[in-house]
Amino acid sequence: METAKHTVQYDAVLPAAATANDDDTPTLSSHTLEALKEFLAEQSRAQTEAPSATAAEDDVAPVSEDWRLSQFWYNRETAETVANEVLNLCRLIDSPAVACIACPTLYAYLKKIDPNVPAQILEYDKRFEQYGSEFTFYDYNLPEDLPSSMKHSYPIIVADPPYLSQECLEKVAQTISFLTRPGQTYLLLLTGEVQRDRASKLLGLRPCAFRPEHSSKLGNEFRLYTNYDPGTKLGGWEQV
């Protein structure tokens, strides 16, 4: 899923506000407990509410982000830039088909710009079943547990692994191999700078100068990697 790749650690902040009883068992003060309840209630509301009505009319928000699933949506500029690149690639192929692995914002923008683009969204979050037959449930821990009809069927694949770990990228790479159509396949990978060497080794990818950004401000630096030379698009391949 589009990606926050870090975990909030409550235990790093709560002990300072805790007290101890006679058994030396840490307990929270009433003030801290109330603040924690309020925070959790706010998180719960955020997962169930519809996208804000004050959002820009042209923005696309498929569903609310769920940080428990490492979901952080691209901002508009990133989503439009990558979607337009994918659509340009579709024009180079006789029978285009796009696989969007864990990047629902991209899928949504593709459909907004060109409703007829043949695209499939592979996602763990079943809220995206709203996309009907173009939704396929996907768990990266089971990288090839996909319909046989999808095997070797996609000349364009965009992937955004949900975690910045070697294991996650290796399993997503297995999925990419499963989906890849024989011949020329265009691969775009959105993930962290820390995955640069792994992306090169596993998938033969190089970073572009274009820097993806998310609507939420994340601490990790993200990159867009491709297996083809984008020329002047996407800022071109980064020069080494």
pLDDT in tens, 49-66: 444 333 333 444 455 544
- Domains contained in the chain, CATH given: 10-48 (no CATH), 67-235 (3.40.50.150)
Q: What is the pTM of this model?
A: 0.73
**Is residue 28 within 8 Å of residue 36, measured between CB atoms?**
yes
Q: How confident is the model at residue 72 (pLDDT cuts 50, 70, 90)?
A: low
Q: How confident is the model at residue 2 (pLDDT cuts 50, 70, 90)?
A: low
Output the pLDDT for position 44.
Answer: 52
Output the pLDDT for position 74.
Answer: 84
Output the pLDDT for position 110.
Answer: 96
Residue 224 exposed, middle or buried by CB count within 10 Å (0-12, 13-18, 19+): buried
More confident residue, 69 or 12: 69
Output the pLDDT for position 93.
Answer: 95
Output the pLDDT for position 156.
Answer: 98
Amino acid, res. 185:
T
Q: What is the mean pLDDT of residues 155-181?
A: 97
Least confident of 14-23, 76-85, 145-154, 224-233: 14-23
Tokens 């609310």, residue located: 64
Q: What would the pLDDT profile of 83-118 be if each residue is shown by its tens digit?
A: 999 999 999 999 999 999 999 989 999 999 999 999
Output the pLDDT for position 236.
Answer: 97
Amino acid, res. 62:
P
More confident residue, 175 or 57: 175
